Structure 1
Amino acid sequence: MDGVIYRGNQLIPGANKFISGLREREIPYLFLTNNSQRTRRDVAHKLRKLGIEACEDDVFTCAMATARFLANQTPNGTAYVIGENGLVNALHRNGYTIADDDVDYVVVGEGRTLNFEMVERGVRLVEKGARLIATNMDTTCPTENGIRPGCGAIVSMIESATNRTAFSVGKPSPVMMRAARKQLGLRTDETIMVGDTMYTDILGGAQVSYRTVLVLSGHTTRAGISRFAYKPDLICDCVADIPEEFYLGEKHVTSDKLTTGSVEEVNA
């Protein structure tokens, strides 16, 4: 959501109107985030403070996707968590016990309160046989003061020390993308992924055949798009510029909607 709906604690202009329009037309949607720190209640609270109507059910986090995946793989399992409240809460809600030894999984998220002792314990548990899970592989997290190490950077220390590769459930993993679609009750051809990052949002949507919209209000610049082997179906300056025809069921966006500088249809 950071870079699509808001930047830090500032709402991106037009984002509230875009969400209100979806509500008025009864178009189902979810706020997806690769941030496992906050519970979905916390995320919804932040959105409301920024002026966007939101409740828990509108939010889908990588922590939720991870917890549901593990509950399906090993019901009522145990996990050592390198992360914060959002991840712990999601695991608890899905029947998991948090422990410090003899666990089924070492689950890594991101956070500001992590320390090297936690990483050391994670390494030892993986060496003893625990399976390594990452909520996402983002190497950095954006903050108002610049970037800080993300989950991908933290889990890479454990991967290097143990020679094990983490399984990641967050964007761009099809696990999270399909779980979110199923929660909305949509078919693949009805689903659109809107994001500001090529290697998570757009790649994740492309891998499961969703239509994709790249907004330039966050991480990605127009010049950087050509570096990737895949591309979005539509490029807009921000969510407010997404033409209604694109998500109201029309097969094609009319050409007059695409001649402005803010919207670009990407031809196959």
Structure 2
Amino acid sequence: MSKFGFLLDMDGVIYKGKELIPGAKEFVATLREKEIPFLFLTNNSQRTRRDVAHKLEQMGISAEADDVFTCAIATARYLAERKPEGTAFVIGESGLTTALFKNGYTLVDDDPDFVVIGEGRTMNFETIEKATRLVQNGAKLIATNLDPSCPTDEGIRPGCGAIVAMIEAATGKQAFSVGKPSPVMMRAARKQLGLSSEQTVMVGDTMTTDILGGTQLSYKTVLVLSGGTARQDLADYAYSPDYVVDSIAHIPEELVQ
């Protein structure tokens, strides 16, 4: 068995927008060839695992649904453990609703156990108002992640964290977040691969999610500079990655054995 296994962030690590990052296809192929365990890890709850795998396939990277671990999956599994066969009012898209269905949850409009917030473009202010009232009336507020914005080809748009912030401000209730850097998602992904903390390598482009989450759980961390973080930004943080590389094409050899 290989010495390490990998949790691979996607946007900024594998691709940027609609473009594959040079070396990503070859790196994934190397992991498969050497039978090194890995998962694609994303804080985007919009798409199902099958949809994400299809996007990767379209870009030329061999991927199956089981290779993908989303914050929607982590959220659904967490809720199913906390309250089996519970109910939820959801703001989000098919990736989130499908994950909740598969984990035994019923989606309702009234008196839910949880209000679960994802991201997407189909919501409107009426649904945010509804979520706010349900939380005020006692439903527990769950965020799939707290990312304040999402990158798109046209620029950023408000992310899950921005929507959650509105509901928190209106109700005075704080959301529990499951996605990166939460240990709930980071630990669940590691366990799915059957790795120990010492065997796990988190590769990401964002200090406040990928690197922070990995650091808190004693994973090895690799920051790639092909996404949203520049080398000079490292001075802003009290923690630091184990490795800083230009891109996934430059992952240190000692990790890929």
TM range (shorter): over 0.9
Aligned to 2:65: 56
Out of 131, 136, 148, the residue aligned to residue 127 of structure 1 is 136
- The one-character-per-residue Cα deviations of 1:232-266 (angstroms, maximum 9, x if unpaired) are 00000100011221232xxxxxxxxxxxxxxxxxx
Alignment of 1:40-189 (within 5 A): 40-189=49-198
Q: Distance in 1 between matches of 2:253 and 2:80?
A: 38
Choose the corresponding residue for 2:238, options 229, 245, 251: 229
Residue 38 of structure 2 aligns to a residue in which SS?
Answer: coil
* Correspondence list, 1:234-249, <5 A: 234-248=243-257
Residue number in structure 2 paired with 1:32: 41
CA contact (8 A) 2:224 2:245 kept: yes
- The residue type paired with residue 59 of structure 1 is V
> How far off is 1:15 after superposition?
0.3
| Count of aligned pairs | 248
| Residue 203 of structure 2 is aligned to residue 203 of structure 1 | no
Return the TM-score normalized by structure 1: 0.92
Equivalents in 2 of 1:174, 1:247: separation in Å?
24
Give distance in 2, aligned partners of 1:25 and 1:125: 50
TM-score, structure 2 as length reference: 0.96
SS at match of 1:4: coil
| Residue among 31, 42, 51 paired with 1:22 | 31
- Quote how far apart the aligned CAs of 1:9 are: 1.0
- Aligned structure 1 segments of 4 or more residues deviating by more than 2 angstroms: none
Q: 1: distance between equivalents of 2:217 and 2:251?
A: 21
Deviation at 1:213, TM superposition (A): 0.1
Q: 8 Å contact 2:53–2:64 — kept in the other structure?
A: yes
How far did 1:44 drift?
A: 0.1
Partner amino acid for 1:72?
Answer: E
Q: Identify which of 199, 209, 215 aligns with 1:190.
A: 199
- Residue pair 2:31, 2:256 contacting (<8 A) in 1 also: no
Q: Distance in 2 between matches of 1:17 and 1:164?
A: 46
How much is the aligned-residue C-alpha RMSD, in angstroms? 0.5
Q: Deviations along 1:77-127, whole A, 9 cap, x unmatched? A: 000001111000000000000000010000000001111001000011011
Distance 1:98 1:107 in 2: 10
Question: Given residue 106 of structure 1, which amino acid in structure 2 is its aligned partner?
Answer: V
Larger radius of gyration: 1
User: Matches of 2:225 and 2:123 in 1, distance apart?
Assistant: 32
CA distance in 1, matches of 2:253, 2:34: 11
Residue 10 of structure 1: which of 19, 39, 42 is its match? 19
Q: Indicate the SS of the match to 1:147.
A: strand
Aligned: 1:212 with 2:212: no
**Structure 2: which 5+ runs fail to align?**
1-9
Structure 1 spans left out of the alignment, 5+ residues = 249-268
Give the structure, 1 or 2, with the largest relative contact order (CA under 8 Å, sep 6 or more). Answer: 2
3-state DSSP of counterpart to 1:75: coil
**What percentage of residue pairs aligned between the two structures are identical?**
68
Structure-2 separation of matches of 1:112 and 1:234: 36
